[in-house]
Amino acid sequence: MSNTDKAHNSDLKKTLALEPPPGKSRYLKHLLIWGLLLLVILFVVFKWGMGQHSSEIEYKTMKAERGDFTVIVTATGNLEPTNQVEVGTEVSGTIESVAVDYNDVVKAGEVLTRLDTTKLEAQANQSLAAVQSARANLLQTQATLLEADTELQRLVHVRQLSGGKLPSEQDFQAAEASFKRGQANVAMSQANIAEAEAKLRVDQTNLEKAIIVSPINGVVLERSVEPGQTVAASLQAPVLFTLAEDLTKMELHVDVDEADVGQVKEGQQASFTVDAYPDRTFPAHITQVRYGSQSTEGVVTYLTVLNVDNSDLSLRPGMTATADIVVKQVNDALLVPNAALRYAPPQQEEKVASSAGGSLLSKLFPRPSHTRPKKNDESGDRRKQRVYTLRDNQSVAIPVTTGATSGIMTEIVSGEITAGMELIIESVSKGK
């Protein structure tokens, strides 16, 4: 085809408008893309709106029931003997012999260990010699006093015979002074004897204490000494043995939290377990709840003492025990699960004014829904709460007054609740 024919055909197509003008094809393509995008957005918004309107709430419920339950306070502590004695020594020396070992049963007055008494015996003998010397000195001063008294009496007699002319006043005063010095020397000698005898008693006591005996009937728990060891009693007596008086009766010392101590009282029954016997439960009862507090890492607790029968000697001092103290027994009470007391229905979302569900912008960018649980304790009384039941598939609040709780179930003291009533414990929004 010639160039003239091609030019003629091109002019003919432009005249008949068979080809779009330049730029119009690009505009149609953009318009098509935006149209498809708008359709997709409208479809998503429509599905989202349908999902919102078609959603429903699914409730999980549990029944209120009548029954018995026990309120328990749990605490941990350690087993200890009822009377534990640490036996030490008041004198220093070298251990000569040890007569007992671990777990030995001892009687009061039985020898536990002996110290080398060589030095102590020497000190006692020295004190005895000092007593004898003081007594001899007393005899000497008494003789001197007697001599001075005789001389004074002679001068008095001479003065009476001479009519006061003899002896001279100076001689008479010297005789009186000599007599009084004799009296003072006798008194000093008597004091020296008392001091020497006291020193002798101390040395004899130390000698006796070199033989260390048991102060109680019991069992040897610890032995901290060996023959040949040197012990020094200076500011504090070293502990040689630890004795437990009677292991058939023990005490369990537990730490009760400050939140629970108001419910714990003397005479309450308890049971406890130890790791050594995981399948066994031991009975006990409270004998003392101490007023003094203990604080450990900011936790305040109160020491509580429980009496334990250990007739079979299965329990040992120092074992860690977990005790369950029965603080209250509730019989034939109306009980509801604690989950029902914790439940609060969510607030309904605010509806938009438009019946169509709001503007397109609100559909494209919906606000998050906020739920706020209603307060059960509006009156300030912690025992006044609410539970919810279903009526016509709607949650209805029922005011109640609660009593004791076991941590799982709670006693209802008053309220329009009957045994078998379904109570809401959880609600879940579920779309169709």
Give alpha helix (H) positions in 162-238. Answer: 169-209
Which pLDDT value is given to residue 325?
Answer: 96
Per-residue pLDDT tens digits for 58-78: 889 999 999 988 889 999 999
What does the pLDDT average to over 252-258?
96
pLDDT of residue 356: 41
Identify the CA nearest to 249 among candidates 398, 407, 84.
84
Question: Is 175 in a helix, a strand, or coil?
Answer: helix
Surface-to-core class of residue 234, CB atoms within 10 Å of its CB (0-12 exposed, 13-18 middle, 19+ buried): exposed
Distance CA 341, CA 400 (A): 9
Q: How confident is the model over 144-198, as pLDDT tens digits?
A: 999 999 999 999 999 898 888 888 899 999 999 999 999 999 999 999 999 999 9
Contact assessment for residue 241 and residue 87, using Cβ atoms and an 8 Å cutoff: yes
What values do phi and psi take at 95, rounded to 5? -70, 120
| Between 36 and 355, the higher pLDDT residue | 36
Query: What per-residue confidence (pLDDT) applies to 22?
Result: 53
Angle between helix 169-209 and 118-161 (nearest 10): 160
> Region 351-377: what's the mean pLDDT?
46
User: Average per-residue pLDDT in the chain?
Assistant: 85
Residue 252 identity (one-letter amino acid): L
Report residue 416 as tokens.
């329009």
Dig out the tokens for 21 from the structure.
Answer: 């003008």
Residues above pLDDT 90, as percent of the chain? 62
pTM of the model: 0.64
Token output for 78: 């350690």
Query: Cis peptide leading into 167, omega within 30 of 0?
Result: yes
Residue 283 pLDDT greater than 90, yes or no: yes
Q: Would you give the distance in Å from CA 277 to the centre of its chain?
A: 23
Q: Specify the pLDDT at position 375.
A: 47
Q: What residue spans define the domains of the chain?
A: 3-52, 57-67+334-348+358-431, 72-82+248-330, 89-111+217-245, 117-209
Q: What is the arithmetic mean of pLDDT over 41-57?
A: 64
Please say whether the structural domain 57-67+334-348+358-431 has been given the CATH code 2.40.420.20.
yes
pLDDT band at 407, cuts 50/70/90? confident
Q: Which helix (DSSP H) or strand (DSSP E) does residue 319 occupy? A: none
Residue 388: CB atoms within 10 Å: 23
Average pLDDT over residues 269-283: 96
Higher pLDDT, 383 or 410: 410
> Alpha-carbon distance 99 to 236, whole Å?
24
Helix (H/G/I), strand (E/B), else coil: 240: strand
- What CATH number does the domain located at 72-82+248-330 have? 2.40.30.170
State how far the Cα of 220 lies from the Cα of 86, in Å rounded to an integer.
Answer: 10
Task: Note the residue count of the chain.
Answer: 432
Q: With contact defined as beta carbons under 8 Å apart, do 316 and 79 qualify?
A: yes
- DSSP letter for each residue of 416-432: S--TT-EEEEEEEEEE-
Whether 123 and 206 have beta carbons less than 8 Å apart is answered as yes
User: Where do we find the tokens 């209802």?
Assistant: 412
